[in-house]
């Protein structure tokens, strides 16, 4: 399954928004988000930049625990940068993709 920060996948690609690919039944179980399942995070170069090279800015496989470690390491800076209050561990795929995007925007995930 693929989700992005926008409902429309074409918009996610065209604007360079974070996209997350994952196996729904593995990541989301009856108990909730499985933090040990690796998912793929992708960002494309936004169309308006019109670059002549490969259009992927980010293509990395991480799990929720990895994203959480990055967030904890840079929490104060990420929260200040994004204007957010301190967060709790993500409980669903939408919180995970948004946290990953904030971490990537602040300090990079690759």
User: Average per-residue pLDDT in the chain?
Assistant: 95
Mean pLDDT of all residues in 48-68: 91
Q: What is the pLDDT of residue 84?
A: 94
Residue 55 pLDDT greater than 90, yes or no: no
Q: What is the pLDDT of residue 52?
A: 80
Mean pLDDT of all residues in 54-62: 91
User: How many Å separate Cα 109 from the centre of its chain?
Assistant: 9
The model's pTM is 0.93
| Torsion sign, CA atoms 30, 35, 38, 40 | positive
Q: From 13, 59, 9, select the one nearest 39 (Cα to Cα).
A: 59
């Amino acid at each position: 399954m693929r989700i992005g920060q926008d409902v429309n996948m074409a918009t996610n690609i065209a604007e360079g928004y974070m996209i997350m690919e994952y196996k729904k039944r593995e990541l989301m179980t009856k108990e909730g988000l499985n933090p040990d399942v690796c998912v793929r995070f992708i960002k494309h170069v936004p169309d308006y930049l019109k670059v002549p090279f490969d259009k992927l800015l980010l293509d990395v496989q991480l799990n929720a625990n990895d994203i959480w470690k990055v967030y904890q390491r840079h929490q104060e800076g990420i929260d200040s940068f994004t204007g957010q209050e301190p967060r709790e561990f993500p409980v669903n795929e939408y919180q995970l993709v948004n946290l990953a995007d904030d971490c990537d925007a602040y300090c990079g995930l690759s």
